Chains A and B, each alone.
Chain A
Amino acid sequence: MKITVCLKQAPDFDMVMADDWAVNDEGGLDIDYANRIINCFDEVALEYALRLKEAHGGSVQALTVGGPECDAMLRAALALEVDAAARIEVEEGADLRFAPATVAGLLSAAIAAAPLPDLVLMGRQAGVGDAAVVPQLCAEWLGFHCISNLLELTPAPDGRLAMAHQAPEGVRRLLVRPPAVATIGNMGDIALRSATLKARIAAKRRSIDQIRISAAHTLPQPAFMGLKNRVIGRECDMMETEDPREIAVGLLHLLNGEEANA
């Protein structure tokens, strides 16, 4: 099975201090210090792609959109022994924030320009609050089947893919004739493996393909107008005790619809 896994770097929001989520005077955020990491959904997609290759053979290509700052992420994927890594070049200074149709247009054009994969795996979104539309737009523009929130995949004897995916009220098991785009959501109990030091050193010597391509499709995109602080609207009444039993008494009061400190 030939698999393309699409990856996106995102800031590690867990590193951001709570106070730094306040919008600054210029209307932006001072969070540049946060490390750039493979987002959590794409991490699982990459791990699942590697497991599929180990179990059933084939190849895995890692693909991203962005500038040279994405190369560290692709090298990390190469160290995990993906077969190839490619980066779709964008113009220097191009702002891809809030531009999912542009990203989907570039990804689908690059995938269509190469020998087609059987399966494209993508995280359902790069981060919470992101648009969560890139996989679906890619599937439509490539003419691939689209399976959202994949839970399991095995090749069937007739060349189709047996896939289980999460639906709103249950799990659907499908037989899908490839090619297909599948999104990875909350798959559960799958964490990205770590590369050995030897593999990381070897990855530094491997090449990253640079793709220059124009999007064949796009959509009118929403115009970004600015950020605003979240309104929380709660004020926390801290219990004055740290004694678990006294806290438990207060919580039981709360569960019974009474004041916690009654």
Chain B
Amino acid sequence: MSLAAALEIGKSGLKIYQVATEVVSENIANVNTPGYSRQRVVLETAPPSTANGFPLGTGVRIATVERYYDALLQKQLVNAETTSGFNSAKASVLQQIEPVFNEIAQDGLGSAISDFFNSWQDLTLNPTGAAERQAVLDRGQILTDQFHYVSSALSNASKIQEESIDPQVSDINQMIKNVSILNGYIRNTELSSGNANEMRDQRDFLIRQLSQQVGVGFEENADGQVDVYITDNSLPRPGTAGPDDPRFYVVKGTQYGSLTTTAAAPRDVSVKDYLGNSSNTMDPKSATPFFSQDTSGGKLWATLKMRDVVIPDYQQKVDELAYSIADATNTQQNAGFDLTNLLAPHAGDDFFSFTVAPTPPGGAATYIKLNLTATNQIAAASAAAVGPPFATGNGDNALSVAKLSKSNIMSAGASTFNGYYNGLVAQVGLDVQTANKVVGQDSAFMKQLVTLRDSNSGVSLDEELTDLIKYQRSYQASAKLITTAGEMMDTVINMIR
């Protein structure tokens, strides 16, 4: 053992603490980088030598630069992101729809229905009055306008979902591709030298983002690559060419598949795995849904579900209401007699008609229109008035129409028109409320998970600064060691002179 060895140890100290400072600076620089996991140099003693007659280490060296990382937390985060992706997308769409049904704050369809039937009530007081008859026509017009408004608001909401599918899918495909590229980098880097910590962080973060968009599963291979799959639970399993396993691997090492959509609206989405096998279509209406639970489907599933199930369900109810009101009013109007011919009383024509014939009740709210054009076409008189002479002042049929609003016509004779609509208002309210509550829970859960992750992997500036000082002092000490060893050498050399 020579003085040179002391110099060597000093030098290794200088070098190592410089690296340690670099790691600290990397941590500090990335304090706000999303998905970054803090890193630590793990120091160990260099192999000992026995030159002194006893084993003594030859300084310090870096065992590894490790990152603080919890694989289980990552799994939980991925699941939570998927749930939150689904719920928040659903809540935001529902919140957009809610104002249409906000009967509390402003008069909408519900009050248009009341007003329409009340105008018939007014007509019973003066069955021949031009003003009363005009009011019935006007209220009828307002009612059809309200139906059009609600129905177009719903179909717009549905259209927005449809239009957002393509951007979502291409976003997802980009992320899938990026995961496979990162897989390649990570394997290559780790084959040649240690851990590709930063790239792993990036990949983890990417998978988290991906899982928010669509529900995915992932597993890490021995070579550090991650395989990502989407599970197709729908039955029957696609064709004989497809795999029996419901897992469709969209990333397998550096190979990747994609999500495909059909060209024409309504777009169907399906998964094509890295081998080119196609899954079933993601169909929320199916009895065996693609995703076993809604919340495991992510944002894309929420979009599809809104487009195919939730909005059409509201639409269907509004259609049913429009169809029933039109049907009941028409039937009663046909039973009465209008004022178009005072000599030979003419039975009333349909009050409402449809620009496009609905397949009952589909499309009724969209296509409903006023069929009558003149006030004398309103059939206020009942059959009892036919005479002769024709009792034009008879308002019994108008009274019958007005009474329709109190009859239990909707829901197979269980509720009135207004009752049915009010039920729909309450249902929308409940849906929005539930969705909002769930989003609140999700964000609390996510916050908890992110806090846990941050607690483990996040950068603490105070900690880094403490380390920085520690390493700085160590660096100074190593430098002092070198100067001391240098001075000792000087002493030796001076002895020789």
Decide whether A and B assemble into one complex: no
